[in-house]
Chains A and B, each alone.
Chain A
Amino acid sequence: MRDRPKTAGESACPTIAEAMLRWLVGGRDADAVSGDLREAFAARGGGRLWYWGQALSCIAVRLSPYRRMLPGLGKDFQYALRTLRRNPGYALTAMLCLALAMGVNTTLFSFLDSMYFRKLPVPDAGRMVLIHREGDDKFCAWRDFGSVRDSVRSLEPAAQTTFFDSLDIDQIGQYATVVMVSSNYAKVLRLGASLGRWFTPADALSGAAGPVVVIGDRLWKTRLHGDPAVLGKQIGTLHRTFTIIGVAPPGFRGTSPPLPVDAWVPANDIRSAASGFMVDLIGRLSAGSSIDTAMAEMRVLDARLRAANPGNPRMQEPIRIEPASGFRTDTRERLLSTLWLMSAVSGIVLLIACVNVANLLLSRAAVRRHEMAVRQSLGASRARLFRATLAEGLVLAAGGTALGIIAGYWTGRAIEWAIPFLPATYYRGIGLGVDWRVALFAGGVGFASAILFSLPPAFANSRNLHAGLRGGDGVRLSRQREFYSLAQVALSLTLLVSTGLMLRALQRVQNIDPKFATDHRLYVELFAAQKGGKPEAVTQLFTGLLDQARALPGVLEATLAWEVFPGTGSTCASPSPQEPPRQMRSNTVEPNYFETMRVPVVKGRGFGMKSAPGSPADVVVNETMARTWWPGEEAIGQRVWLGCEGEKREMAQVVGIARDSKYESLSEDAKPFFYLSRRQAAGNGYFSLIVRTAGDPYGWAKPLLSQVRGNPDFTVYEVKTLEDAVAASLWGIKWRAGLLASLGLLAIVLAAMGLYGVVAYAVSQRTREIGVRMALGAAPGDVQWMVLAHGLRITGLGILGGLPLSVAAVKLLRGFLYGLSPFDPVAFAAAGVAWLMVAMLASWYPARRATRVDPLTALKYE
């Protein structure tokens, strides 16, 4: 890829390297050197690594005279390494503290990296742009793409449109993200295939050999077991059967990250070109053009397209061209709140870890007071001592960073693993890998934190040390360390409160009654293809299945529904033919659905098994719809017009009112909803068979499935109990609660370590005092309490300081709490009590050790 010949305008040398070079070399020299590098880079046809090497060589030469300004810097580092080797326990503790926090931050940054910077894994990805409209609208109609492609000069465009479909492989279905693309897609992206080939213009012709598909690497490796003989195999979608002609290269997951694409099909093969479906563009900027020139050209083009499609509501928004790196702007906006939450939390964890290491270094400073004083009196300048401490901090930070990057890699893995597989789940495709940008970030954070945590001990070490020789500096250092420990308690308290709030919100949502029966109910999601275009045949197929299911022993009731919680179909409806149709949620069900699901029809009647021919379809509305659509009127007998704009609209009549229940999520507010009868509306081939069983529902799954599989017309998607479906709908809040809880735990462990260090150190300093007290008759209990009280005093003050901090912090959480007040007293109280208990635990061991002080030894020792 690197050796591919490029034209001069095409290659772009690494901007960061060039900027560094120009900054560090400076002046006209920088101009000449960077010009030379540019020329050589273009002549050799790229090679970013080569460029970096050359740039660094110039910088190294330029900086070499300054090396003499820091005499003995190498010695400082050598000395630091030696000190750390001699105290491996201390070094390891500090590095681990840092590594844990750095791991979290590395993961966060790789999230940010994939959100903003990561380019597509295609050659010369910097020139790829996405063209769409603001507000998530698509760019143009498919039928206009040909003229766009032929007329545009500033870029080479390919059309694409993403939709969710189902893939049927060996009678087992799976929801998948499918992208329909123009046949030049792979050419524009310069994509290869790991097996087979991409589309040719011939594939898109309606008279081609048959519909073809290129599948994604993940689908190939998981569902098709990486079978090398997969080419030529058939997979089905909702509409027709496709032949696999290629497998996309690993790592290429489509051009709209983080949505992972499972399959690509050529446009034309699903819907006819004339239907006017809308597409987005992905383009490669031509040599010499920029986003601005492309924008200017596309605006002119857009004006022409709009003139050709007057009044098309889907072309009103202004166009937007953005570089194809990271996520699209609208996706970013959707994930921004999660990003903020994660940034705040991992920042706090890092701060706590830094304070911990600073505390460790301070305690070392106390121990090394004598050494520092001796060094100073032997002629070491204060600046020199300051630098020596800084060097030690940098060595610690380097170790911590290296470990942190490894930790970050595994944290990323763990998080990816913890996200459930759901179609269209944006989190799923976030690549939490470690690349050079992530490593660079980790290095930067490590350096910054080294400065942060080394400054206090560096000041302590370089202070005028005559006091140090006499040993009078200890009290001040202890005070400083107590203050740091207190700050840690305060910071970790905010995380603890947030975790508590999240758990309370989870508990609150879990306790919401879905208002339909979930116990002993199992559902099987099915699809039956329409054969010969007869919807009646599909209806009969499902009716037959329903009768078979009822005949199974152990099945007490059985019914059919188009959608099962938390999915709802969307249709349009309006109370009169003149009014514009509104987007509505609805379900199409078997007449006995209301009894089986225990959703009572509170007024009027449910659906009948048969309807008089020619009469309008029956509609059952929920209470909210009855109340809001016809306020003050009787809902039963009212008319509803079904169908969206541009579709044929049909009249239906309200025959009953069903009780409100939850449809899409447990936390939703009551909303208008209606049901149609499966006996009157055939649907699109999808139905879920819901059965109520005697005993464990999963125990009945097997006979039920073998019955379904006996019929080759059915594809099975999912088998689940309704209880599990309800629990799975809470994954988002569970995921966030889990994330916060683990980070909160990490924070409290780090802070507890700090507190332990401070209390234990105080005990060691007060050995003599304790000895005297015990010699004078203090009971072990009194001594123990004295030490415990020390730890509790720090904690208590920390909690007092942390409360206002928490109050400020939890406001960030408001959007994640499902209506729970962020000032929930239970969460606050629980966090405080939890910290007091942790404080007892952290002080317990030093307290016990204090009681073991032998008065005689203690007095003799001093």
Chain B
Amino acid sequence: MPSAYIGEFEQIVLLAVLRLGDQAYGVPTRAEIEKRTGRRVTVGALYATLDRLESKGLVHSWFADPTPQRGGRSKRYFKLLPEGVEALSVSKTMLDRMWRGVRLKGASDA
């Protein structure tokens, strides 16, 4: 059943889209990832990943009407499809299972 395997960055992007709800277009998504992971993300990498997730059928995107704020450029919004939610939960279960009983040297128990 877990048909689509998703990589680490894909997980991060899916989670960011999920967190942002109906505000998920390029700029806030990127900001969200940078804020929470402390990792620099280029616009090119973000869109490449989103395109890939869309072709895997995990997210859906649409273009909003152009607004004057961005020089008349329209926004492309993203939304998780049920398959995306499913893929996320599968990865989480998988990771949780892998972590169970693992203790890192020197790391204190949470």
Per-position binary interface string of chain A over residues 30-59, scored 1 when its CB falls under 8 Å from any chain B CB and 0 otherwise: 011111111110010000000001101111
A28 at the interface (CB under 8 A from B): yes
Closest CB-CB distance, B39 to chain A, in whole Å?
14
Selected from B43, B63, B66, B74, the residue in CB contact (under 8 A) with A37 is B43
With A28-B63, A28-B76 known to touch, is A35 a contact of B45 (CB < 8 Å)?
A: no
Q: Which chain A residues border B69 with CB–CB below 8 Å?
A: 39
- Quick check: B27 and A32 within 8 Å, CB to CB? no
- Quick check: A32 and B43 within 8 Å, CB to CB? no
- Quick check: B70 and A38 within 8 Å, CB to CB? yes
B47 at the interface (CB under 8 A from A): yes
- Quick check: A38 and B73 within 8 Å, CB to CB? yes
Selected from B30, B44, B75, the residue in CB contact (under 8 A) with A58 is B44
With A54-B44, A58-B43, A59-B44 known to touch, is A36 a contact of B74 (CB < 8 Å)?
A: no
CA distance A57 to B26 in the complex (A): 14
Selected from B42, B44, B48, B70, the residue in CB contact (under 8 A) with A35 is B70
- Quick check: B63 and A36 within 8 Å, CB to CB? no
CA distance A373 to B75 in the complex (A): 56
Shortest Cβ distance from B29 into A: residue: A36
CA distance A59 to B26 in the complex (A): 16
- Quick check: A29 and B44 within 8 Å, CB to CB? no
A609 at the interface (CB under 8 A from B): no
Per-position binary interface string of chain A over residues 1-39, scored 1 when its CB falls under 8 Å from any chain B CB and 0 otherwise: 000000000000000000000000000110111111111
CA distance A190 to B78 in the complex (A): 43
CA distance A57 to B41 in the complex (A): 10
CA distance A60 to B69 in the complex (A): 27
With A38-B70, A38-B73, A39-B70 known to touch, is A32 a contact of B26 (CB < 8 Å)?
A: yes
- Quick check: B27 and A40 within 8 Å, CB to CB? yes
- Count contacts on A: residues with CB < 8 A to the other chain: 22
CA distance A724 to B45 in the complex (A): 67
A61 at the interface (CB under 8 A from B): yes
- Quick check: B63 and A57 within 8 Å, CB to CB? no
Q: CB within 8 Å of A: which of B52-110?
A: 63, 66, 69-71, 73-76
CA distance A33 to B66 in the complex (A): 13
Selected from B25, B45, B48, B66, the residue in CB contact (under 8 A) with A36 is B25
Closest CB-CB distance, A6 to chain B, in whole Å?
15
CA distance A277 to B32 in the complex (A): 59
Selected from B25, B42, B63, B75, the residue in CB contact (under 8 A) with A54 is B42
With A35-B71, A38-B71, A61-B48 known to touch, is A54 a contact of B76 (CB < 8 Å)?
A: no
Closest CB-CB distance, A26 to chain B, in whole Å?
13
Q: Which chain A residues border B44 with CB–CB below 8 Å?
A: 54, 56-62
CA distance A29 to B70 in the complex (A): 14
Q: Which chain B residues border A62 with CB–CB below 8 Å?
A: 44
Per-position binary interface string of chain B over residues 21-34, scored 1 when its CB falls under 8 Å from any chain A CB and 0 otherwise: 00001110010000
- Quick check: B43 and A54 within 8 Å, CB to CB? yes
- Count contacts on B: residues with CB < 8 A to the other chain: 19
- Quick check: B76 and A34 within 8 Å, CB to CB? no
CA distance A60 to B43 in the complex (A): 11
Q: Which chain A residues border B63 with CB–CB below 8 Å?
A: 28, 31-32
CA distance A61 to B42 in the complex (A): 11
CA distance A57 to B48 in the complex (A): 10
- Quick check: B74 and A28 within 8 Å, CB to CB? yes
CA distance A36 to B76 in the complex (A): 9
- Quick check: A32 and B71 within 8 Å, CB to CB? no
Q: Which chain A residues border B26 with CB–CB below 8 Å?
A: 32-33, 35-36
Q: Which chain B residues border A58 with CB–CB below 8 Å?
A: 42-44, 47
Q: Which chain B residues border A31 with CB–CB below 8 Å?
A: 63, 66, 73-74
Per-position binary interface string of chain A over residues 226-253, scored 1 when its CB falls under 8 Å from any chain B CB and 0 otherwise: 0000000000000000000000000000
- Quick check: B71 and A36 within 8 Å, CB to CB? no
Q: Which chain A residues border B71 with CB–CB below 8 Å?
A: 35, 38
Q: Which chain B residues border A39 with CB–CB below 8 Å?
A: 27, 69-70
- Quick check: B73 and A57 within 8 Å, CB to CB? no
Shortest Cβ distance from B71 into A: residue: A38
With A28-B63, A40-B27 known to touch, is A33 a contact of B74 (CB < 8 Å)?
A: no
Q: Which chain B residues border A32 with CB–CB below 8 Å?
A: 25-26, 63, 73-76
Q: Which chain A residues border B73 with CB–CB below 8 Å?
A: 31-32, 34-35, 38
CA distance A40 to B42 in the complex (A): 12
Q: Which chain B residues border A59 with CB–CB below 8 Å?
A: 44
Per-position binary interface string of chain A over residues 576-589, scored 1 when its CB falls under 8 Å from any chain B CB and 0 otherwise: 00000000000000
Closest CB-CB distance, A845 to chain B, in whole Å?
57
Selected from B47, B66, B70, B76, the residue in CB contact (under 8 A) with A61 is B47
- Quick check: B76 and A57 within 8 Å, CB to CB? no
Closest CB-CB distance, B110 to chain A, in whole Å?
35
Per-position binary interface string of chain A over residues 50-76, scored 1 when its CB falls under 8 Å from any chain B CB and 0 otherwise: 000110111111100000000000000
Q: Which chain B residues border A33 with CB–CB below 8 Å?
A: 26, 43, 47
- Quick check: A61 and B27 within 8 Å, CB to CB? no
Closest CB-CB distance, B29 to chain A, in whole Å?
9
With A28-B63, A28-B76, A31-B73 known to touch, is A36 a contact of B42 (CB < 8 Å)?
A: no
- Quick check: A57 and B43 within 8 Å, CB to CB? yes
Q: Which chain A residues border B27 with CB–CB below 8 Å?
A: 36, 39-40, 43
With A40-B27, A40-B30 known to touch, is A35 a contact of B74 (CB < 8 Å)?
A: yes
Which of B26, B45, B48, B70 has the most chain A CB atoms closer than 10 A to its own CB? B70
Closest CB-CB distance, A126 to chain B, in whole Å?
16
Closest CB-CB distance, A756 to chain B, in whole Å?
51
Q: Which chain A residues border B74 with CB–CB below 8 Å?
A: 28, 31-32, 35
Closest CB-CB distance, A11 to chain B, in whole Å?
11
Shortest Cβ distance from A43 into B: residue: B27
Q: Which chain A residues border B47 with CB–CB below 8 Å?
A: 29, 33, 58, 61
Shortest Cβ distance from A25 into B: residue: B47
Shortest Cβ distance from A30 into B: residue: B73
Q: Which chain B residues border A53 with CB–CB below 8 Å?
A: 42
Which of B25, B47, B69 has the most chain A CB atoms closer than 10 A to its own CB? B47
CA distance A56 to B27 in the complex (A): 17
CA distance A54 to B71 in the complex (A): 18
CA distance A388 to B25 in the complex (A): 44
Q: Which chain A residues border B45 with CB–CB below 8 Å?
A: 57, 61
Q: Which chain B residues border A34 with CB–CB below 8 Å?
A: 73
CA distance A54 to B34 in the complex (A): 15
Q: CB within 8 Å of A: which of B4-51?
A: 25-27, 30, 42-45, 47-48
CA distance A56 to B42 in the complex (A): 10
CA distance A193 to B104 in the complex (A): 58
Closest CB-CB distance, B65 to chain A, in whole Å?
11
Shortest Cβ distance from B49 into A: residue: A61
CA distance A34 to B66 in the complex (A): 12
Q: Which chain A residues border B30 with CB–CB below 8 Å?
A: 36, 40
Closest CB-CB distance, B34 to chain A, in whole Å?
11
Q: Which chain A residues border B25 with CB–CB below 8 Å?
A: 32, 36
Closest CB-CB distance, A12 to chain B, in whole Å?
10
CA distance A43 to B69 in the complex (A): 12
Q: Which chain B residues border A37 with CB–CB below 8 Å?
A: 43
- Quick check: A57 and B70 within 8 Å, CB to CB? no
CA distance A28 to B66 in the complex (A): 11
Closest CB-CB distance, A113 to chain B, in whole Å?
28
Q: Which chain B residues border A36 with CB–CB below 8 Å?
A: 25-27, 30, 43, 70, 75
Task: Beyond the given A36-B75, A59-B44, please list 16 additional residue pairs across the A-B interface where CB-CB is below 8 A.
Answer: A28-B76, A31-B63, A32-B74, A32-B75, A33-B47, A34-B73, A35-B26, A35-B66, A35-B71, A36-B43, A38-B71, A39-B69, A54-B42, A54-B44, A57-B43, A61-B44
Can you list 25 pairs linking A and B with CB atoms under 8 Å apart? A28-B63, A31-B63, A31-B74, A32-B26, A32-B74, A32-B75, A32-B76, A33-B26, A33-B43, A35-B75, A36-B25, A36-B70, A38-B73, A39-B27, A40-B30, A40-B43, A43-B27, A54-B42, A54-B44, A56-B44, A58-B44, A58-B47, A60-B44, A61-B45, A61-B48
Chain A residues near B (Cβ < 8 Å): 28-29, 31-40, 43, 53-54, 56-62
Ordered nearest first, which 4 A-B pairs have the shortest CB separation? A35-B73, A57-B44, A36-B26, A32-B76
